[in-house]
Amino acid sequence: MATSTTSTPLSLPRDLVDAERERAVVYHALAMPRPQQYTDLRRRLLRLTARVHYHPYWSARPAGAAAARVDLRRDAGQPDEGCAS
């Protein structure tokens, strides 16, 4: 996992987008029937979710956080599900 803080065109930090992208991959792996390494995947998902949710970027954007989370999902290549992480 890269820790770069280079921003995307929408000013989202690269490390935040990468964490959200990885979180989606792990989430989908857990959604498969009888996933291999279930416990490891759950732990990884929890860590990634916390990394995304508590990223310092959100404290700098309290008023626009909801819209920025939609942008994050879009930049991470996920469809907008209409809910916050």
Q: 3-state class of 7 per DSSP?
A: strand
Taking only the tens of pLDDT, the chain with its 85 residues reads: 444 444 444 589 999 999 999 999 999 999 999 989 999 999 999 999 999 999 999 888 777 788 888 889 998 887 655 444 4
Contacts (Cβ under 8 Å, ≥6 apart) of 80: 70, 73, 74
Domain ranges of the chain: 14-75
Q: Which residue has the tokens 């995307």?
A: 8
Q: How far apart are CA 25 and CA 32, in angstroms?
A: 11
Q: Which residue has the tokens 């996992």?
A: 1
